[in-house]
Amino acid sequence: INFFNDRLQIVGDYFDKVSTDVLIRLPQPRTLGVGTLPFQNVAEVQNVGWEADVKWQDNINNKLSYFVGFNISKVKNEIKFY
């Protein structure tokens, strides 16, 4: 949304994404005697959240302009399976 001849801009986003085949190193019992196992594409992660962005830009005169903005967000990342 833009206001005041596009000097004020407000943007909001919501997202809910599930990523599959995430690359991780699975845990292993120490009794195997192997240092580490290779990475595998076996995890599933869900990212849910929102983001808001507010920007103000204006010209003081022909040679001087300014821009002010801020961003706020909240995200929850959850490992669903591995």
pLDDT tens readout for residues 24-69: 877 777 666 666 777 878 888 999 999 999 999 999 998 999 999 9
Report whether pLDDT(3) > 90.
Answer: yes
Residue 33 has a pLDDT of: 65
DSSP 36: -
Residue 57 has a pLDDT of: 95
Report whether pLDDT(78) > 70.
Answer: yes
Residue listed under structure tokens 């997202």: 15
Q: Which helix (H) or strand (E) holds 22?
A: strand 8-24
pLDDT band, residue 2 (cuts 50/70/90): very high
Residue 80 has a pLDDT of: 85
CB 37 within 8 A of CB 28: yes
